[in-house]
Every structure is written in C-alpha cells, then in structure tokens.
Structure 1
Amino acid sequence: MKAIWHGGFIYTMLEEGDLTEAVYVEDGVIKGTGSYERLKKKYGSPETEEISLNGAVMFPGFVDSHLHLIGHGEKQLQLDLSALTSKEAILQAAKEREQQLPEGDWLIGEGWNENQFETPDYLVKHDLDRLFPDRPVLLKRICRHAIAVNSAALQAAGISRNTPDPDGGVIVKDANGEPTGLLFDKAQDLILKAVPPVSQHYVDEALTAAIEDCWTKGLTGGHSEDLSYYGDVSVPMKAYEKAAASGKYPFRCHLLVHHEAVDRWEQLEKPSGPYVEFGAMKIFADGALGGRTALLKEPYQDDPSTNGVQVHDDETLGQLIRKAREKGMEVAVHAIGDLAFEKVLNAIEKHPPKNGRHDRLIHAQVLNDELIEKAARMPIALDLQPHFVASDFPWVIDRLGKDRMNTAFAWKTLMSKGILCAGGSDAPIEPVDPLLGIQSAVLRKSSHEQNGPSYYESECLTVYEAIKLYTEGSAGIIYKETSRGKIAEGYDADFTILSEDPFAIDPVKLHLLDIEKTVINGQIVYEK
C-alpha cells in the first residue's frame, strides 16, 4: 500500500518543534518526508492514496514500555474494582458478579485500592465470608502484589495457621495466628495455584480485547509481561500467534519472558513477523509501596515494623541474572524500593550484559542521589510509569516520609543524567491511556484531589520530554531507535493522530484530546 499523509501538523520528534508537511508511506515503511508538492511529484501515482489529516496532529506511534497486555484485557472481561471507594461497594459488586457465575466457579475481581476508602483498611476474609461462605473468592489489589481471599479460597489452597510464609512472600495472620485472608507477593502463588486453569479461549479473548482497547488510546505497541500467568507458556504464546503474529490484530508486541517460564519458552516454536518479538528475562526484586512490600533501606515511615519484602535473596538474584546471560538474554527487573534497586545494580555489576546492550530496571520509584549517579554509569535503562504520581500521591508521602521524597518518582532528574528512560502504564494496574501518563509526567498532580498541588514540581517534565518517553524512549529501550519512535525515512509507519496539538493547549486538558486515528505498519487500525 502506498499513501501520502498531509493536511495537518506532523511532528517528527527528531527534535523539539520539528514539523514536516507530508509523509510518504509504502509497504508499512516511511519512504519520504517533506513538502506535500515534492512528495506528490515524486511518488504520486494512480496506486498512491492521498490521506488528509484534516487539521489533526500526527506523532510517531505511542508505545507503552511496560504493561501486562492479557491482564489489561482481563480487566475488560472481569469484575473491575478500581473505581470503587468503599468495602461496601466492593462487596455489592462482587455479589452482583456472583449471579453471573456457574456454581463452583471462583469469583475473581481486580483492582481494589484501600487508599480510596474513607478508612484505608485492607480487605480480609471476614469481609468476604459472610457473603461468600462456600464459593472461593479472590480479589486482587490494584498493584497485583497483594490479594484478599475468603476462607473457602484459603481452604482450597490448603493454607492454615501452620502454613509458613514462602520465600519472598507474606501470609498475614492475626493475633491468634490465623490467616486473615490477605497475602502479599510470592504468598499469592499459593492461592493462584489452586485456581482452576483458564481456557485458551479466555486468554485469546482477553488479548484481543486488550489490543482493541489499546488502539482506541492511540497505542501502536506495548512491551508486555504475561507469559507465566496462564498455565503453560504455550497458552499465551498461542494467543499472541493467533491475534498479533497472524496480522489479524496488528500491534507491536515486545514480550518479556518471566524467569519461571524461560526454560519452557525455549522449547516452544516462537511466533515471528513484524508484530511479535521477545526481549529480556523478567525478574521481581521486591513488591510494591501500596502493601508496604517494596524493599527499602530504612523502615516505612507509617509502619516502622517493616522495610518491605526481598523476593529473591542476593545469591538467587545473582544466579537468575547469570542464567539470563547463559541464554544470551538481558534482564528486566521490577525494583521499586531503594534497597531493591541497589541489590539489582550490584548483581548486574557482577554479571553485566554484553557490550552495547543494557538491562531494564522497571519502576525505579524510590532512589537516592548515590543510586542515581551509579545507575547513570551503568549499562541500564529505566521503564517509568508517570501515572504512579497521580495514583500514589498524597498517601505515599506518609508512607515514605518527606526525606525520601526528594529523590522519589524523580523522572526529570533521571532523564537529566542521560539515563535512557521509556514510558509505560503498568496496565492493568494503572490506566493504559498514554495521554494520562504524559499528563501526569507534566503536571505531577494527584488524581485523588480536585485542584490539588503539583508534587515536587522540579521533577515535572515538559510535554515534549513526556511524549519522548512513549516514542523515542520506548523504541530505544528495545534497540529500535533507528526504526521506530520518529517520523523519518526508513522508520516504521506507526502513527498516533490526535485531535489537537498537545504543545498548544493547557496541559490540564491533555487527557481530553481525542485519538483521531491509530496507524500501524501503514494500516489504519482505529478511526474515531
């Protein structure tokens, strides 16, 4: 297919403010940019379509550098609790959902957040047991590092007062030693293993729902981690083969491979083509701030009895990174707390990636000056989730204490040190909409407050810097800096087309921009 795009504002992202009048695309690749008349003269033919932007604003395709694509689709299919602001509302929604379920099925919900309640108390089994005495219930906290379950689910998983905490996890128990129904990090696996396996059809449906939703948000691709959560690795692999690799649902899927899935993954035939590829080996170093399981150097300000959870001891972390190197892979490590981040940097120092390659550290929320300087000297890149600012403030200040906040969520500082940074959502934990991420990076305001302040304004990004995270950053972090993330000759014809110019409006209105079209490989996959 040949097409000349023109008649709007086309930001190349080659440098700030750089515009081109028109773009010529052939077979999914940009073959020329420049004046409309010149391109028309050079490439115009009966087969060349002319597509007017009608005054809309074109960017290189926005790519989410860290999400769980199938999990995002599940949120469309399952009970979504993320907007509910009380235990009562959650219980009512769960009871309504139960009416749609066959007898014996587990009731599974996603996204509760006690920080939205008037009194921020966790959900526990006593909340659930009175409404669900027999059916197992599993409700995932928004961070996916904690779950609340009822007694029937504990029983199905064989968890009792005598069950010890697994490595890297916590089974919360009351004063009498009884499990409360709240489980953190690796302890969740004890429950998840008891849940009946999902069907191939369910995973297929979740993935296609996710891709279709991402198109409507202007996303042309995503770096996803979901190969180890749906039974055998072949199940999600088949879903990606059927949906994306086949070209039926075009979307640039770059897949991380969880260390628990990597051996089995190696044995399988891999989907290929322009829409599915595989990247680094995923490891978790700690938990999350919401459940106080992110691993900190000093105890939590609002609970000095803990400084978080170390998912792997130092020796195991080193062994896992060495395993990746033996397989010719980089690592992508979830590290939220400063102590987790430090331990990961130390392990990478001992087992560095090959020359010219880099490892990915995901989240990097709580750091200090020394760690930032060390990271800038090392072969690493960072996956940032700007919308965490909107979700975690103001409660995170009480959790961490003001002293630690000066180098927390420090996106501007990290970018100013020359560290390669990419932008993502961590969907389904945060909304997948990249415009919300861009807006959060620019404004640094809480979504829990009407007309609230900007938090730590010195870390606010410009609109250009924020968009770069989702274009140049998301391309560079997977070594695609010469083929994606810019509008230039030889680059992939992936475009996000907005209704208005984000550089010309008040950033408070960024989330109100419409997605006019989403274009992948030269093909319009979504049109308003």
Structure 2
Amino acid sequence: MTILRLLGFVIILLFPIYVGATHVFYHNFTGYTLTGHPGETAQLKQFNALIVRDGRVVAVGQQQQLEAAFPHWTKRRKDLEGNYLLPGLIDAHGHVLGLGQTLQQVDLRNATSEQHAAQLVADYAKAQPDFPWVVGRGWNQELWDSRQFPTAASLQELVQDRPIYLSRVDGHAAWVNHKALELAGITAATLDPEGGEIIRDEQGEPTGVLIDNAMQLVAQHIPPLTQAQQQVALQQAMIHLVQQGITGVHDAGIEATTLAAYQELAARDQLPLRIYGMLAATEPQLPELLAAGPYHTADDKLTVRSVKIYGDGALGSRGAALLAPYHDAPHQQGLMVTSPERIQQLLQLIIAHGFQVNTHAIGDRANRVVLDAYEQTFAQMGGRHLRHRIEHAQIVHPDDIPRFKALDIIASMQPTHATSDMNMAEDRLGTARIQGAYAWQTFTQQGTIVAAGSDFPVEYANPFFGLHAAVTRQDRNNQPDDGWYAHESLTLPQALRAFTLDAAYAAGQEQQLGSLEPGKWADFIVLDQDPFAQAKTQLWHNNVLATVVAGHVVYQANQ
C-alpha cells in the first residue's frame, strides 16, 4: 500500500483535492519537531502521533496519550508504516523563477572545463533550433583545472548563429559570445558601468565575461518572459521543490510581473507550497508596490511584506566587496552594486511603509556598509521590530559579528555555500579573514537567529544537502575528513531549527509555521530514514516519501 493511499488523499497532476474527514490521526512513525520560541530556547520534541483537523495541527505527542485525550478524533487513522516525520522544511533564500528557468535552460553546473561547458551549450543549441537566444546557468571556473574565466572564443567555435548568455553559478557574472557582445554594442571603448566590470584581455578587448551590473548590458536584450511563461516556470520549480521536502520558500527578489504571476496562481489555488516573496529593490514599480501595503492570502500560501536590496557581488567572481584587496588579486576589492547612499535611501523608503528589509551582503565591506545603514536608519526612524535581515552574511569582520545581535539583525545563511566555496574561499581571503567567514555557530552562540536556505539555483535545492553541510562542514564526498573549520558547524537540532522554526521567524510566521504544534498549519514531510539515527555524513541520502502542506499531500514518491 502506498503512502499516498495511507494518507487518504488524491493528487490530480500536482495539485491535491482534499477528501474524507476533516480530522486525521497519523500514527506508527517517529517524528521530530522544535517547539517553543525560535532561537536557542527552542526544544526538540520526539513524538509518534499527530492529529490534524482542517489543515492545522490539533495535537502532537505519544499515541496512547492522544488516544486517551481525543477518543473521538483518533478513529480515522493513517498508518505511516514506521517511517519518519519532520516539519516541512523552509528554504529561507531561493529564487523560484530562476530555478524554473534553469530547469528549462542549459545547465552547466556539472561542466568539468570550459570546453565541456561550451560543448553542452552547443548540444543544447542544436536541440533547440527555434530559440532566438541560447540561455543557461551554472558554470564555475573554480571547478575547472584552469581556474580561469571562460571566453567568447570557445563559444564562437561551436555556435555562431545566435547570441548566448550564460550566468555563472552564483548569478553574479555572465559568459557571452561575440554575437551577444555585438548586439549589446560592447567594444573596447565601452566604459564599465557603476557596480560592474567588463573583463578585458591585454589589448583591452572584451573577453566575453561580464561582472555584476555589467551583465545587464546584454541581459536587457533577452526577450522577457510573458506572465504565462513565468507561471509555467514557477509551477515547474514548485513541483521540483515539494519533491525535495520543501514546504516554504523565501523568494529573494521578485519583480512586479512575477508577483502578478504568483497572485494569479494563488487565485487559482495552484500554489503547492508557501511563498514569502521579497520585492526586488531594483523593481521600477517599488514605490507603488510599497504604497499598496503588504500582500497576504488567508491560507498563508503567498505573503509579500519584504524587499530584497542587492549590496555587493559574489566571492567566486571577485565581486564581493572587501575591506582589503583580494588575497589572490591584490588589485581588486570587489563591487558595491548598490551604493551606500542608495542603500540608506532604500531603507528609509521601505521601513516607512512597514516592510522588512533583506539585504544581500557577502563581503566584509558590504556587511559593514549594510550594518551601518541599518544602525543609522534605526536611530533616525526606528523600525528595528520589522526583523530585518542580511542575506548570506558570508564574510563578516569579527568586530561586526556582535552587531548583528545588537541590532537584532537576522543572519540568512546558506550552508552549502561554505562547502561549495571552500576550494577557493581561502585563496580569495587569506587565513586571517577566513575566521569571520561562514560563521554559523558563532552567530548562533551569540543569540542571533540564523535562517537557513540554499540560494537555489546557485546551489541544489535539496535541503538535506544543506543539513548535511551544516553539521559536517564537508562536501558530499565527505571531504575534508574533519570538516572545513568544523568549529563553526551546527548540531543537527540547530540545523533543523534553522530550516524550520527560525526560518519561519525570519518571515514573521513562527505563529503559523515552522513546527508541528497545536494551531499551526500541518506542513510536514515523511522520510524513509531517521535523520537523528543516521551517521551525519549520510544525511544527504535521506529520501522524501511524501510532502504534506496544510494537510494536503502535494508530493508522493513512487512506491
């Protein structure tokens, strides 16, 4: 008998239709949830029975106790056959539309060299002859033997008839071909835009790599997706996410058109998970969207009451803004893609409308600039209660880490970034600055709320990759043996809290989501292995058998 039949629900395509009684008694499983207030006072609770009514948790505990306390509500039983249950996992920083587009485009994350990546692009172009542009994502020169940026020449050898635009894995650089450069009018005479860089050869000619704000010189020529196309991409991404056990996403930087696509899907009851949308600070309609006030659906499927500001670039492309030059490139110090003055203006605008501010900051200079801006704004106009965040907080000067706690700033961090970056991070920073990098345990110990995510499609969306990275500081080959700066690893309860209760807190939703407690939505996942009994090096092998949102099955594994 399948888990789907056991749970008593039916799925048509992706979206479920609720049938049967309004209350269900789940039993014969081992479950774990954090309980109580977010942060270090939260307690891990183990249980083996759960009562759900009308999509919300009525009671959670031991089977005999619930049977005695709720004799009329335990007759309609759903046997989970000895499997394991966790609260639905929340990814506190992802890009849903970007994931949907990545699923449709050429994926270069597994490319082993520039030549391999170019061949993957050529194969994709041949398979998609009607696409006017060849678009893809995922290349990472740090994984290639050369460790050098690619060039337009290698693309030109294989594809000459169409422009090509390929985002780096972190989304902070683009690799383009000669046709794309020509279309954008980029030549040796083209000036670098503020907050961006056109990589050039020794003769001053563009090589085909554009950093941060320079990417827009070409990207603006790519035909935008229609709202219908965005809806398709969002749906494809959400199908993928619930298969991973993700029941909620904080979508980091959505435009007005994407918000409209989400609203249409919500009106049709076609959101299988919960979206906490951050409006993009670069959206031209931002003032009008802020004036309209927060947006929230009654079922908590779609909430928009925050804004994402873009501070600096990324470490891999040397766009992260550093206080001192890069250790492996002494002439470079990174880029602020939004000026400190503009960040200050945006904070005042956004906070005045009662919206939370979530600011991207990777380098230590960017983190200091953003902390300074928060501190100044709070002194001028208040607004600290809105639970503002720094997204990534990857490299923070040790003097600035305590300021997160002093200013009540949430650290929204992505564990797999550390294990993906460890092959180049110390080259970029040197041994001294690495001490303030990816400092999850230091933040946790000082009482800062850490909300965990993946930054998909920069990283894979699978949250068990994140849990594994958080507790081991190892890659999925279990390297290095003792973990990379393992003193900053989290315990499994801490990591689970960062992906559930504390992630919900970071969206102001801890009263509705993030744990299985009475009155909260019944969002949970069923697993085939016990994460608290597994060797921590095996955490990423866990398989999701079913994903349930508000009591509805939105994913059922093939049995």
Q: Distance in 2 between matches of 1:388 and 1:374?
A: 23
Conserved? CA contact 1:4–1:39, under 8 Å: no
- 2:352 corresponds in structure 1 to 326
Deviation at 1:40, TM superposition (A): 3.8
Deviation at 1:313, TM superposition (A): 2.2
Q: Which amino acid aligns with 1:430?
A: E
Alignment of 1:283-322 (within 5 A): 283-322=309-348
SS in 2 for 1:18: strand
- 2:48 corresponds in structure 1 to 21
Q: How many residues align?
A: 523
Q: Distance in 2 between matches of 1:457 and 1:332?
A: 28
SS in 2 for 1:322: helix
Conserved? CA contact 2:253–2:307, under 8 Å: no
Q: What stretches of structure 1 move > 6 A for 4+ residues in a row? A: none
Choose which of 32, 57, 66 in structure 2 pairs with 1:30: 57
- 2:499 corresponds in structure 1 to 470
Structure-1-length-normalised TM-score: 0.95
Choose which of 249, 257, 269 in structure 2 pairs with 1:247: 269
Deviation at 1:483, TM superposition (A): 2.1
- 2:211 corresponds in structure 1 to 184
Q: Does 1:6 align with 2:27?
A: yes
CA distances 1:353-405 after superposition (whole Å, capped 9, x unpaired): 52532211000111122101122100311111000122111221111111111
- 1:391 corresponds in structure 2 to 420
Q: Distance in 2 between matches of 1:46 and 1:475?
A: 29
- 1:146 corresponds in structure 2 to 173
Q: Which amino acid aligns with 2:329?
A: D
- 2:126 corresponds in structure 1 to 99
Q: Which amino acid aligns with 1:119?
A: S
Deviation at 1:481, TM superposition (A): 1.9
Q: Distance in 1 between matches of 2:291 and 2:375?
A: 30
SS in 2 for 1:304: coil
CA distances 1:232-282 after superposition (whole Å, capped 9, x unpaired): x23x22331343453223211000001122235358896733211103111
- Note closer, same or farther for the CA distance 1:120–1:29 as it changes in structure 2 (3 Å cut): same
Alignment of 1:86-125 (within 5 A): 86-103=113-130, 105-125=132-152
Deviation at 1:326, TM superposition (A): 2.6
Deviation at 1:16, TM superposition (A): 4.6
Q: Does 1:272 align with 2:297?
A: yes
Deviation at 1:142, TM superposition (A): 0.2
SS in 1 for 2:161: coil
Choose which of 352, 364, 375 in structure 2 pairs with 1:338: 364
Q: Distance in 1 between matches of 2:63 and 2:415?
A: 36
Choose which of 287, 291, 294 in structure 2 pairs with 1:263: 287
Compare 418-427 and 368-377 and name the one that shifted more: 368-377
Q: Which amino acid aligns with 1:324?
A: I
Compare 146-155 and 495-504 and name the one that shifted more: 495-504
Deviation at 1:39, TM superposition (A): 3.2
Gaps of 5+ in 2: 1-21, 36-41
- Note closer, same or farther for the CA distance 1:495–1:507 as it changes in structure 2 (3 Å cut): same
Q: Which amino acid aligns with 1:296?
A: L
Q: Distance in 1 between matches of 2:76 and 2:104?
A: 38
- Note closer, same or farther for the CA distance 1:46–1:389 as it changes in structure 2 (3 Å cut): closer
CA distances 1:96-146 after superposition (whole Å, capped 9, x unpaired): 111233457010111001111111111121221222233101111001000
Structure-2-length-normalised TM-score: 0.89
Q: Distance in 1 between matches of 2:421 and 2:441?
A: 18
Compare 493-502 and 292-301 and name the one that shifted more: 493-502
Q: Distance in 1 between matches of 2:540 and 2:126?
A: 35
Alignment of 1:44-443 (within 5 A): 49-103=76-130, 105-228=132-255, 233-234=256-257, 236-261=258-283, 262-263=286-287, 265-266=289-290, 272-274=297-299, 275-352=301-378, 353-443=382-472
Deviation at 1:459, TM superposition (A): 0.7
Q: Distance in 1 between matches of 2:94 and 2:80?
A: 30
What's the % identity of the aligned pairs?
A: 32
SS in 2 for 1:207: helix
Q: Distance in 1 between matches of 2:333 and 2:234?
A: 36
Deviation at 1:422, TM superposition (A): 0.4
Conserved? CA contact 2:398–2:435, under 8 Å: no
Q: Which amino acid aligns with 2:358?
A: A
Conserved? CA contact 1:444–1:455, under 8 Å: yes
Q: Distance in 1 between matches of 2:339 and 2:287?
A: 21
Conserved? CA contact 1:390–1:448, under 8 Å: no
SS in 1 for 2:385: coil
Q: Distance in 1 between matches of 2:448 and 2:313?
A: 24
Q: Which amino acid aligns with 1:301?
A: H
Q: Which amino acid aligns with 2:184?
A: A
Deviation at 1:453, TM superposition (A): 4.2
CA distances 1:390-446 after superposition (whole Å, capped 9, x unpaired): 211122111111111112111000111101110000000001111100100111013
Compare 40-49 and 275-284 and name the one that shifted more: 40-49
Q: Distance in 2 between matches of 1:287 and 1:465?
A: 29
- 2:534 corresponds in structure 1 to 505
Conserved? CA contact 1:245–1:272, under 8 Å: no
CA distances 1:319-375 after superposition (whole Å, capped 9, x unpaired): 111111232222110000111000001111111252532211000111122101122
CA distances 1:466-488 after superposition (whole Å, capped 9, x unpaired): 11110111111111222221211
Q: Distance in 2 between matches of 1:76 and 1:49?
A: 40
Q: Which amino acid aligns with 2:419?
A: A
Compare 424-433 and 130-139 and name the one that shifted more: 130-139
Deviation at 1:448, TM superposition (A): 7.2
- Note closer, same or farther for the CA distance 1:146–1:515 as it changes in structure 2 (3 Å cut): same
Q: Which amino acid aligns with 2:360?
A: H
- Note closer, same or farther for the CA distance 1:103–1:205 as it changes in structure 2 (3 Å cut): closer
- Note closer, same or farther for the CA distance 1:255–1:104 as it changes in structure 2 (3 Å cut): closer
Conserved? CA contact 1:245–1:273, under 8 Å: no
SS in 2 for 1:312: coil
Deviation at 1:227, TM superposition (A): 2.0
Compare 377-386 and 493-502 and name the one that shifted more: 493-502
Q: Distance in 1 between matches of 2:129 and 2:44?
A: 56
Q: Distance in 2 between matches of 1:295 and 1:107?
A: 31
